[in-house]
Amino acid sequence: MKKSTLVYSILTIIILFGYFLLIGSYPLLDVDETRYVEIARTMIKNHDFMTLYLNGEYFFEKPPLYFWLECLAFKTFGGINELTARLPIILLSLLPLGLLFGLCKKVKNIRFALITTCVLLTSLEYVLITKIAILDSVLTSFVTSAVLCYFYTFFVREKNKKYFWLLSYFFSGLAILAKGIPGFVIPFGTILISTIVFKTYKDTLKHSVIGMVLFLTITLPWHILMLKTYPDLFFSEYIYKHHILRFLGSEVIHRNEPWYFYILTLLWGLMPHTFVIIGKLLNGIKLTKPNLENKYSKFLILNSIAFLVTLIFFSLSGAKLITYILPAYPFLAVIIAHIWSGYITKDNLKIKYALIGINSILILASLAVPFAASFTLGENAGNLHYMQVILAILAYFLIINMIKNKRFRIFICQAVFTAALFGFTAPLGYKLDYSFGQDDLIAYAKLAKEHNYTISAYKTGKKYSLLYYSELPQIEFQNEDNIEWLNNELNKKENLVIIKNKDIPKLPENTAFKLAEKGVKYSIIEKLF
C-alpha cells in the first residue's frame, strides 16, 4: 500500500469515528442547539431569510450565516432533525482540517500533516464541540480557514499568493457573518502581528485593498439592511449589547471568569495530548533564536502568533464560555505535532511515562463504556456490543505497540482508539446529561405536540427543547416570581404549565393546583378544580 493511501485511510477512519458516528442518535442539546435550530426552522416557515426570530420575537444576538447553512441542509437532505441539523456543521469542520493537512504537508511532509490533523481530531473539546449545531463551530471553521489561507501566502509561489490572500479575506467575511467581531479580530490581528514579525509590509499592503473590498462586499449588505429596517433596535441589541457590552463586561450573559479561564479550559480540552505537553515541559524546553528564513520555523512561529492572538482576545473579553476558545485548537495542534514528531524521532523518557499514564486511563475508560451504556440506555444497551469489540481490538494494538515502543505506531493507535472512544461515548454522555432534566422537557413538549396543547413555563429558564420538540410557534416563559401570571396560565384550557420541582413547595398556599406529572427535575401542574 502506498504511504499516501495509508495516511488518507487512517484519516478517514478517525473522521468517521470521531465525527460521524451516531451523530443523529441523541436529541438536540439545550439551550444552544435547540435555540439555533429553531431559529433556522422559523426562517423556513416564515420565508424570511434576513430577519431572525426566536419564540415570536426578534433575535439580534447573532448574524445569519449559520442559519442559512442550516436551512440549506434542511432543504437538501429533506427534513429537520438531529442528523440534518448537525451534518452541515461537521462538513464545514472538514474545511480547516483539509487546509491544515495540505499546509503541513507543504511545509514539512505527509507524516507531519497526518500527526497534526490527528492531534486536532482527537483533542477532547474540539472534536466534541465542532460536531454539534452551535455557532462557535461555524465561527471556528471560517476563522481558522482565514488564518490558514494567510499562512499559505508564505509558502506558495508568487503567482498564487493573491488567491490565498483573497481566500483569507473571503473566509474572514464569512466569519463575521457567522458570529460577528471575532471573525475580524483573530484573522486581522494575526496578519498584523505576523507582518511586523516577518517584515512583510509590502506584501500585506499590496493585497489589502482588493481584499478589503471583498471582505466588505460580504459583510456589509446584511448589516446595512438590518440598520435600515430596524435602526434603533438593531444598533442597541446587536452592535451595542451583544458586541460592545459583551466584550467589555459579563453582565449580558453572566459569565464572569478569571483571565486564566481559557488556560484551564485548554488543559482538559486538549486531552489526551495534555500529557504529552506535560512530559515535554518536565523534560525542559530549550529556547533558541528562531530562523525566520527556515519555512518550518516560520510555520511554527505563525501558528504561535495565531494561538496567542486568539487566547489573548478571548481572555480579555468580559464574557467567557468554554466554546469561545475553539479557534485556538488548530494552531495548538501544530505545536503539539511538533512535540510528537520530536518524540517519534528521539525517545524521551518523561514523554514515554506520560503516554503510559494517559493511555492506561483511556483503556480503563473504554472498559467502563459497557457499564455507562447499560446505565444510560437500559435495555437498548445490548445493541452496542459491537462497540466493546472495536474498542477491545484497538486497545490491544495500542498495548502491543507500547510494549514494543513503536512510537509512531503508538501515536496512530492512540489516535484511532481515542477517536473511537470519543465517538462511542459522546452520545452516552449527552444522554446521561439529558436524564437530569432535559428528558422531562422533551417528553412534555412531545405530549403538547401530540394533543395540540400550548405550553407555559414558570421559572424554568428559557429551555428551547420545549419550543423545538413541541413545534409550537411560541411558548410563554416567565422567569420571575409572578403568582398572578401563574394562576392565569393554570386557568387556560389545553395548556401545560411546567415548573421546576424545587419551586413547587415555594408556591403560596392560595395557588390552587395539583401535580399532573412529575419528572426528575420538572413537573406539570394543573388547576385543582
Number of domains in the chain: 3
Q: Are 384 and 372 in contact (CB under 8 A)?
A: no
- Residues 339 and 368 occupy one common structural domain: no
- Residues 354 and 466 occupy one common structural domain: no
Q: Are 125 and 426 in contact (CB under 8 A)?
A: no
- Residues 456 and 487 occupy one common structural domain: yes
User: What are the grid coordinates assigned to 457, written together?
Assistant: 413555563
- Residues 160 and 192 occupy one common structural domain: yes
Burial of residue 480 (number of CB atoms within 10 Å: 0-12, 13-18, 19+): exposed
**Domain assignment of residue 17, yes or no:** no
pLDDT by residue for the chain (529 residues), tens only, comes to: 677 888 989 999 999 988 888 888 889 998 899 999 999 999 999 999 999 999 999 999 999 999 999 999 999 988 899 999 999 999 999 999 999 999 999 999 999 999 999 999 999 999 999 989 999 999 999 999 999 999 999 999 999 999 999 999 999 999 999 998 999 999 999 999 999 999 999 999 999 999 999 999 999 999 999 999 999 999 988 888 877 877 776 555 556 788 899 999 999 999 999 988 888 887 766 666 666 678 999 999 999 999 999 999 999 887 788 999 999 999 999 999 999 999 999 888 888 888 888 888 888 888 777 666 666 655 555 556 677 788 888 888 999 998 988 999 999 999 999 998 888 888 888 888 888 899 999 999 999 999 999 999 999 999 999 999 999 999 999 998 888 899 898 888 899 999 999 998 888 876 778 888 999 999 999 887 6
- Please report, to the nearest 10 degrees, the dihedral formed by the alpha carbons of residues 128, 134, 138, 139 taken in order: -100
User: What are the grid coordinates assigned to 55, written together?
Assistant: 419564540
- Residues 363 and 233 occupy one common structural domain: no
Domain C-terminal end among 398, 417, 434: 434
CA distance 185 to 190: 8
Three-class DSSP category at 455 = strand
Q: Are 273 and 338 in contact (CB under 8 A)?
A: no
Q: Residue 258: phi, psi to the nearest 5?
A: -70, 165
**Domain assignment of residue 6, yes or no:** no
**Domain assignment of residue 398, yes or no:** yes
**Domain assignment of residue 22, yes or no:** no
CA distance 519 to 440: 6
**Domain assignment of residue 513, yes or no:** yes
CA distance 190 to 87: 30
Q: Residue 321: phi, psi to the nearest 5?
A: -130, 150
Range of the domain at 362: 349-434
Domain C-terminal end among 434, 466, 489: 434
Give the number of C-alpha atoms closer than 13 A to the C-alpha of residue 44, restricted to the C-beta side. Answer: 18
DSSP code, position 28: P
- Residues 56 and 108 occupy one common structural domain: yes
Domain C-terminal end among 434, 461, 496: 434
CA distance 376 to 419: 21
- Residues 427 and 445 occupy one common structural domain: no
Q: Are 189 and 175 in contact (CB under 8 A)?
A: no
pLDDT of res. 254:
56
- Residues 259 and 216 occupy one common structural domain: yes
User: What are the grid coordinates assigned to 380, written together?
Assistant: 437498548
**Domain assignment of residue 422, yes or no:** yes
3-state helix, strand, coil in the chain (%, to 5): 70, 5, 25
Closest CA to 466 of 55, 9, 43, 3: 55
Give the number of C-alpha atoms closer than 13 A to the C-alpha of residue 388, restricted to the C-beta side. Answer: 13
- Residues 181 and 58 occupy one common structural domain: yes
**Domain assignment of residue 19, yes or no:** no
CA distance 335 to 328: 11
Q: Are 120 and 126 in contact (CB under 8 A)?
A: yes
pLDDT of res. 1:
60
- Residues 293 and 430 occupy one common structural domain: no
**Domain assignment of residue 15, yes or no:** no
CA distance 252 to 242: 7
- Residues 392 and 501 occupy one common structural domain: no
- Residues 149 and 67 occupy one common structural domain: yes
Sheet holding 513-518, edge to edge: 476-478, 454-458, 495-500, 522-527, 513-518
